[in-house]
Amino acid sequence: MCGIVGYIGKRDSVPLIVEGLRRLEYRGYDSAGVAVLAGDRVFIAKKAGKVADLQAMLDTGPVSGTLGIGHTRWATHGEPTDVNAHPHTDCNGTIVVIHNGVIENFRALKTTLMRDGHTFTSETDTEVVAHLIEEIRKEVSDLGEAVRLALLQLEGTYGLVVMSAENPEMFVAARKGSPLVIGYGEGENIVASDASAIVEHTRTVTYLEDGQMAIVRRDGVSIRTLDDAEIPKAVEHISFDVEQIEKGGFDHFMLKEISEQPETIRNAMRGRLLVERGEVVLGGLQPVRDKLFDAQRIILIGCGTSWHAGLVGEYMLEQIAKIPTEVEYASEFRYRNPLLGPRDVVFLISQSGETADTLAALREAKKRGATVLGIVNVVGSTIARESEAGVYIHAGPEIGVASTKAFTSQLTVLSLITLLLARGRGMAAQDAVVLTRELDAIPAKVKSILENAARIREIAREFKDADHFLYLGRGANFPVALEGALKLKEISYIHAEGYPAAEMKHGPIALIDERMPVVFIAPKDAIYDKVVSNIQEVKARKGRIIAIANEDDQDIESMAEFVIRVPRTYGFFGPILNVVPLQLLSYFIAVARGTNVDQPRNLAKSVTVE
């Protein structure tokens, strides 16, 4: 959600923090701010808008200092205004706080603090933390101890950083539910809400765990629990390069990430797919192999695009591996009192590995005795660490808020898991080889779809002013319809709905007239003829048909106004191909409408609050 950067060292902190915020802007972008210790006072600049607006503000009144903190906000409490932007301070501007998360008991704390004479300036929950620390410091002068005592009174979630004008030698960072990573340098240390703000300075890091706080100084970092016990640092290495978080010549991260898919899909299967043996090796699942093969049911849980990947996974697992599978929205699962037992295997699907609802579902499933496994992109993320075992999708950093390459990599990993289970449950090697060969061919087929981007751009121009879109598919392509509709609404703000094609006549058909674009996902699979019937129903009502169809489908031209060609593949791998033109269609429509593709309004890349 929000982005956090804190720096203490020998360099000027301001450019380093602003650059870090720019890299974190995909996490939240409704306002931004910095606080810098300049002499014996804290200078604060903050503003509603983008990091570029903050930069412009700083350009007019330069300030420098070797201790500073910065924040990009995604509003939860209080509108995105200058006043509500972080950092927030105590009454006299000495204690300064930036925060990601939600302080659930802030109203009660605020009432008490106001009664004690504290004056609040913002509508945020965060400001209460600064005043609470100010109050505690009347009795406890040590900053670290005052922060610790304040944290013990907070209910809710936080990744936060606190600095004080009275403590030029340190700042404090703490985590409960919102990620923070500490990067170690020579005579300098950095804290950020994710590693992309750190990687160009150091690759040696510690991911704070929930319930931990760090006292960060120039010459070292000590990590403590909220019970005040010092604990050893678990040092890890960032696995990606700076180039991976740059646009690399593309206009938008989204286009770069769509274009990377032949490579990212290959990375998801690299070393895992033994093509000519018809086998799959997933080292990450080795520790739970027995539980996996003994599972009576698989439950796939995620949100948004990751949930759509789960829906495709359900088709694969039930049809190929023949194992009962259910798919759940994480946000619903956690409050539904789900019936789970020790022979249930739950896969949590998450690009970021930090989505609050998915994490809560993981903890709920674990509490109920199920085996909990992760299908995650971000290495070292909370879901990855709290899962019993899992499979990384290895898509590399995904910066565009609309998820693209993570989806196809999630589908690739779900295909691998399906094949692994299918073999374990008796699928013959010669049958499996047909599938492993086909999966191995997918990256090249995605590449050929991308080569057709110009045609998709033309179609996008034709429909850029549409007010509504319908996406229809059947079987494993129904979730692709949902994903196509989600991509379009996220970045172009056009209202779009995905439906199982046959369901159309139970309601959505009422919407169809000569102004309604209808995207059909219509590969030549076992239910092609059924989809064709649905196409005819739309055509009879003058809907404008765009069909995603196979290269050898001659009949489709007479039914659809526009056809986007995709190569043939085995049915259950089809979604990996069919979603790619839908990603491009959304992208080109959004560009034609002039929206902010990588940072669409109201959204944040990873939703770390409920």
Q: Is 196 a binder of ligand M6R (CB under 6 A)? A: no
- Nearer to ligand M6R among residue 73 and residue 201 (C-beta): 73
Binding residue for ligand M6R (CB under 6 A) from 1, 97, 299, 402?
402
The whole-angstrom separation of Cα 300 and Cα 165 is 48
Whole-number minimum distance, CB 262 to ligand M6R, in Å? 20
Greatest Cα pair distance, the chain, in angstroms, is 81
510: Cβ–Cβ under 8 A, 6 or more apart, which residues? Answer: none
Q: What is the residue-wise DSSP string for 16-77?
A: HHHHHHHHHGGG--SEEEEEEEETTEEEEEEEES-HHHHHHHHHHS----SEEEEEEE--SS
Burial 577-595 (b: 16+ CB within 10 A, else e): bbbbbbbbbbbbbbbbbeb
The whole-angstrom separation of Cα 215 and Cα 203 is 20
CB 257 within 8 A of CB 404: yes
From the list 2, 47, 405, 487, the catalytic residue is: 2
605: Cβ–Cβ under 8 A, 6 or more apart, which residues? Answer: 26, 27, 352, 398, 399, 401
Q: Is 202 a binder of ligand M6R (CB under 6 A)? A: no
Q: How many CB atoms lie within 10 A of CB 485?
A: 24
Binding residue for ligand M6R (CB under 6 A) from 193, 305, 331, 599?
305
The whole-angstrom separation of Cα 238 and Cα 248 is 20
Report CA-CA distances (Å) from 247 to 265, 398, 450: 19, 11, 18
Whole-number minimum distance, CB 410 to ligand M6R, in Å? 8
Q: Is 504 a binder of ligand M6R (CB under 6 A)? A: no
Binding residue for ligand M6R (CB under 6 A) from 215, 375, 401, 413?
401
- Which residues make beta-bridge pairs with 177? 158
- Nearer to ligand M6R among residue 159 and residue 571 (C-beta): 159
Q: Is 373 a binder of ligand M6R (CB under 6 A)? A: no
Q: Is 306 a binder of ligand M6R (CB under 6 A)? A: yes
- Which residues make beta-bridge pairs with 372? 346
Q: Regarding beta strands 371-376 and 344-350, do their DSSP bridges make them parallel or antiparallel, or are they unpaired?
A: parallel
Alpha helix locations (H) across 61-217? 106-115, 127-136, 143-151
Whole-number minimum distance, CB 188 to ligand M6R, in Å? 30
- Which residues make beta-bridge pairs with 160? 99, 174
- For 424, the enclosing helix (H) or strand (E) is helix 405-424
Start-to-end Cα distance in the chain = 11
- Nearer to ligand M6R among residue 310 and residue 574 (C-beta): 310
Binding residue for ligand M6R (CB under 6 A) from 261, 350, 387, 534?
350
Binding residue for ligand M6R (CB under 6 A) from 165, 214, 435, 607?
607
Whole-number minimum distance, CB 421 to ligand M6R, in Å? 23
Whole-number minimum distance, CB 602 to ligand M6R, in Å? 11
- Give the per-residue SS3 of 280-298: ECCHHHHHHHHHHHCCCEE
Quick note: the x/- pattern for ligand M6R over 285-304, rule CB under 6 A, is ------------------xx
299: Cβ–Cβ under 8 A, 6 or more apart, which residues? Answer: 325, 326, 327, 328, 340, 344, 345, 346, 347, 365, 370
The whole-angstrom separation of Cα 504 and Cα 475 is 14
Whole-number minimum distance, CB 54 to ligand M6R, in Å? 24
From the list 176, 291, 489, 605, the catalytic residue is: 605
- Nearer to ligand M6R among residue 133 and residue 395 (C-beta): 395
- Which residues make beta-bridge pairs with 329? 302
Return the range that interacts with ligand M6R (CB under 6 A); candidates 4-12, 39-47, 285-293, 351-359: 351-359
- Nearer to ligand M6R among residue 284 and residue 304 (C-beta): 304
3-class state of residue 312 by DSSP = helix
605 is catalytic: yes
Whole-number minimum distance, CB 400 to ligand M6R, in Å? 8
Return the range that interacts with ligand M6R (CB under 6 A); candidates 49-57, 211-219, 245-253, 599-607: 599-607
- Nearer to ligand M6R among residue 408 and residue 606 (C-beta): 606
CB 21 within 8 A of CB 74: no
Binding residue for ligand M6R (CB under 6 A) from 66, 76, 94, 351?
351
Whole-number minimum distance, CB 460 to ligand M6R, in Å? 18
- Nearer to ligand M6R among residue 194 and residue 525 (C-beta): 194
Binders of ligand M6R among residues 408 to 437 (CB under 6 A) are none
Whole-number minimum distance, CB 607 to ligand M6R, in Å? 5
Q: Is 199 a binder of ligand M6R (CB under 6 A)? A: no
Number of residues lying near ligand M6R (CB under 6 A): 17
Binding residue for ligand M6R (CB under 6 A) from 178, 355, 409, 412?
355
The whole-angstrom separation of Cα 436 and Cα 279 is 7
The whole-angstrom separation of Cα 446 and Cα 453 is 11
From the number of C-beta atoms within 10 Å of its C-beta (0-12, 13-18, 19+), residue 552 rates as: exposed
- Nearer to ligand M6R among residue 110 and residue 489 (C-beta): 489
Q: Is 358 a binder of ligand M6R (CB under 6 A)? A: yes
Of 69, 61, 102, 103, residue with least CA distance to 86:
69
- Nearer to ligand M6R among residue 189 and residue 387 (C-beta): 387
Whole-number minimum distance, CB 455 to ligand M6R, in Å? 24
Binding residue for ligand M6R (CB under 6 A) from 34, 606, 608, 609?
606
Residue nearest to ligand M6R (CB): 304
Return the range that interacts with ligand M6R (CB under 6 A); candidates 177-185, 345-353, 444-452, 563-571: 345-353
Q: Is 352 a binder of ligand M6R (CB under 6 A)? A: yes
Whole-number minimum distance, CB 97 to ligand M6R, in Å? 26
Binding residue for ligand M6R (CB under 6 A) from 25, 490, 497, 525?
490
CB 265 within 8 A of CB 446: yes
Q: Is 55 a binder of ligand M6R (CB under 6 A)? A: no
Binding residue for ligand M6R (CB under 6 A) from 100, 212, 403, 586?
403
The whole-angstrom separation of Cα 109 and Cα 100 is 18
Which residues are near ligand M6R by CB under 6 A?
303-306, 350-352, 355, 358, 401-403, 486, 490, 603, 606-607
Task: Please identify every residue annotated as catalytic.
Answer: 2, 605
